[in-house]
Amino acid sequence: MSTIVLLLITGLGLGALYFLVASGLSLIYGLMGVLNFAHGSFLTLGAFIGWEVARRLSDGTWWTLGASMIAGAIIGAAFAAATEFFLIRPLYLRHIEQVLVTVGLALASVALFEGIWGTDPIYVVNPEWLGLTTEILGARIPNSRFLLIGCAALVLLAIVLFLKHTRYGLIIRAGVENRSMVTALGIDVRRAFTLVFAIGGAAAGLGGVLASVYYGYVSAHIGGSLLIFAFIVTVIGGLGSLAGAAVASVLVAVLQQFANYYLWGTGDLAVVLALAAVLLIRPQGLMGKSVR
């Protein structure tokens, strides 16, 4: 029993990390039809900047962590918005080229991060509480998982509120369904493009700082390895569906944890097989609309 609880909650924690990446990916794809390979780089830059902030302030306090998270989110948003504006926008509606540009950016930026911060992992210092465990139903859960779950829940809530109650949220929801009709109502949908990139980048940047808490280190490849799982999550959940991304994040991460524990560490393979199965049975994903 305690093992199952442990696997469920740690799975939820990992799922939180996946969601922070997948939410932006899914929104961007839904609105713009762009599969963003540079999304991992938004996360990595957020993680590094968070670490830079933390080491300049006094290390290891909650205030420092909070400042890192804010800095990570801001830098992630700025990087993402700049990406949209300078690289994606000139290739308007040329989806393959847009994907290619993000591939190039991913390669170049990871190399640049290696150049700046080196190839070795940099270990981070966190508030003491995060290194401890809490007992729930006999399972000793690492406290950092609770931070991740809480933050992801807040991000989900914030995005939902934004989508539901603001004009731009309305434009984004409408644009995901039928972008050209939005422009035919006299709305410049390109501004919404920059905005979804910024939102996705902020979530990813925050995710970067949280990933460094989760793994205990920062490296230039931290985003790239999460990105593959985030892609899988996004496709399983249904491209363009925020709720799908949330549900699939949890499903994938929990599946991964269980397979790792009960099936001799085959979590990664299980996830890949799950993706293949979902795509073949239900190509539009769990909550996606049918293929357009």
Is residue 263 a contact residue for other proteins (CB under 8 A)?
no
| Distance of closest approach, residue 133 Cβ to other proteins, in angstroms | 29
From candidates 110, 199, 251, 255, binder to other proteins by CB under 8 A: 110
| Distance of closest approach, residue 169 Cβ to other proteins, in angstroms | 10
Contacts of 257 (CB under 8 A, 6+ apart): 7, 8, 10, 11, 14, 267
- CB-wise, 1 or 184, nearer to other proteins? 184
From candidates 63, 66, 115, 263, binder to other proteins by CB under 8 A: 115
From candidates 25, 28, 204, 232, binder to other proteins by CB under 8 A: 232
Is residue 136 a contact residue for other proteins (CB under 8 A)?
no
From candidates 5, 103, 136, 160, binder to other proteins by CB under 8 A: 103
Is residue 52 a contact residue for other proteins (CB under 8 A)?
no
Which residue has 């799982």 as its token pair?
A: 229
Is residue 150 a contact residue for other proteins (CB under 8 A)?
no
Is residue 156 a contact residue for other proteins (CB under 8 A)?
no
Is residue 105 a contact residue for other proteins (CB under 8 A)?
yes
| Distance of closest approach, residue 157 Cβ to other proteins, in angstroms | 20
Quote the CA–CA distance of 216 and 44 in Å, as a whole number. 14
Is residue 239 a contact residue for other proteins (CB under 8 A)?
yes
Note the Cα 31 to chain centre separation in Å: 17
Give which of 48, 60, 14, 54 is closest to 219, Cα–Cα. Answer: 48
Give which of 113, 82, 92, 70 is closest to 198, Cα–Cα. Answer: 82
- CB-wise, 1 or 180, nearer to other proteins? 180
Give which of 2, 3, 40 is closest to 260, Cα–Cα. Answer: 3
How many CB atoms sit inside 10 A of residue 225's CB?
Answer: 13
CA distances from 153 to 4, 17, 156, 210 (A): 22, 11, 5, 13
Is residue 161 a contact residue for other proteins (CB under 8 A)?
no
* 123 torsion bin: left (phi>0), alpha (psi -120 to 50), beta (else): beta
Contacts of 110 (CB under 8 A, 6+ apart): 40, 41, 44, 220, 221, 223, 224
Q: Where do contacts with other proteins occur on this chain (CB under 8 A)?
A: 29, 35, 37, 87, 90-91, 96-97, 99-101, 103-112, 114-116, 170-171, 173-174, 177-178, 180-189, 224, 228, 231-232, 235, 239, 268-269, 272-273, 275-276, 279-280, 283, 291
